[in-house]
Amino acid sequence: MTPNVIFVLGGPGAGKGTQCTKIVENFGYVHLSAGDLLREERAKPGSKFGELIESYIKEGKIVPVEITCSLLEQAMKQSGKENFLIDGFPRNQDNLEGWNRVMAEKVNLKFVLVFECPLEVCTDRCLKRGATSGRVDDNLESLRKRINTYLTETKPIIDYYGNLNLVRQIDATRSVDEVFSDVEKLFRSGSGDK
């Protein structure tokens, strides 16, 4: 049984997690957020990567792929399921190469779902989220760095998948339900499939 994978990308605060939750409810995928897995790993007492992850997250930098990819692989195996949304990955060339080395041949990559949202809107959403999220990176200083990382490191990865005709773009500026209605159309049409 070859697992199906959909990568989910978009700027910080574009609504990846929010939309993934709705996809899980409606289409029965397993949602794996690379950022959530890293935050969980950071919080584990005695984790040898805790401090590294903390500093990378604060600085908006991308954690070395060996750590992230093994967390993803472990979570996929533990779930025992076969349809995965992998949210916030691959975020840079190192992520992409690490995935291609270890995982690409073991899965069927269906497409890359990209939530398009102006970075000012992303910033506002993250700052609002910061009021309750407790995240160390939902502040203006970290956000500037995260946005820079998105533009210089993640965009080229989206372009790479775009050239392979694997990108499915969704306008994420509207309300959660309006955005999800486009997501639904994509998932129901099957046109997202390779």
Q: Which does 18 bind (CB under 5 to 8 A by kind): Mg ion, ligand ADP, ligand C5P, none?
A: ligand ADP
Under the criterion CB under 6 A, does residue 78 sit at the interface with ligand ADP?
Answer: no
Is 31 one of the binding residues for ligand C5P (CB under 6 A)? no
Torsion sign over Cα 6, 27, 175, 130: negative
Question: How many of the other CB atoms lie within 10 Å of CB of 61?
Answer: 16
Is 135 marked as a binding-site residue? yes
Could you give the CA distance from residue 182 to residue 91 in angstroms, rounded to a whole number? 24
The DSSP code for 44 is S
In the numeric block, which tokens belong to residue 42? Answer: 């950071």
Q: Does 35 bind ligand C5P (CB under 6 A)?
A: yes
| Binds ligand ADP by CB under 6 A, chosen from 7, 15, 30, 157 | 15
Contacts of 193 (CB under 8 A, 6+ apart): 110, 111
> Which one of 32-40, 41-49, 98-106, 110-118 is the stretch in contact with ligand C5P (CB under 6 A)?
32-40
The site partner of 81 among ligand C5P, ligand ADP, Mg ion, none (C-beta below 5 to 8 Å per kind) is: none
Smallest gap from residue 146 Cβ to ligand C5P (A)? 5
Indicate which single residue of 78, 163, 165, 175 sits in contact with ligand ADP (rule: CB under 6 A).
175
Alpha helices in 14-169 (DSSP H): 16-27, 34-43, 50-58, 65-79, 93-102, 119-133, 140-149, 155-163
**C-alpha atoms less than 13 angstroms from C-alpha of 143 in its C-beta half-sphere:** 20
Q: How far is the CB of 137 from ligand ADP (least distance, A)?
A: 10
190 annotated as a binding-site residue: no
Would you count residue 113 as binding ligand C5P (CB under 6 A)? Answer: no
Q: 115: left (phi > 0), else alpha (psi -120 to 50), else beta?
A: beta
Per the annotation, binding residues for CMP are 95
Q: Give the footprint of ligand ADP on this chain (CB under 6 A).
A: 10, 12-18, 125, 128-129, 175-176, 179
